[in-house]
Amino acid sequence: MDEFYTKLAEILEVDEVREDSQLESFPAWDSLGVLAAIAMIDSSYGVNLTSTELTGVKTVGEFARLVESRRKA
């Protein structure tokens, strides 16, 4: 999921994100950032998520695991 972390860092406008990084700690994790992340995972991984499904996701690692679990489903 290194590629996922790199792409998410671009969306969040930071150099890097770590598995334990809190999504809400990034200023760019706002409504537009969430939509950009949803679009990225749809186009890059073929996973369709809604912003509601991300409500309980707190860390980058949780987000990555959610995407990975949807890819296998």
pLDDT confidence of residue 38: 97
| Residue among 39, 50, 44 nearest 1 (CA) | 44
CATH level 3 topology of 2-72 = 1.10.1200
pTM surpassing 0.85?
yes
18 contacts 43 by C-beta, under 8 angstroms: no
* Structure token pair of residue 10: 């671009």
Distance CA 30, CA 45 (A): 22
Tens-place pLDDT, residues 11-50: 999 999 999 999 999 999 999 999 999 999 999 999 999 9
Strand partners, 59: 22
- Residue spans of the domains in the chain: they are 2-72
* Residue 12 and residue 22 in contact, taking contact as beta carbons nearer than 8 Å: no
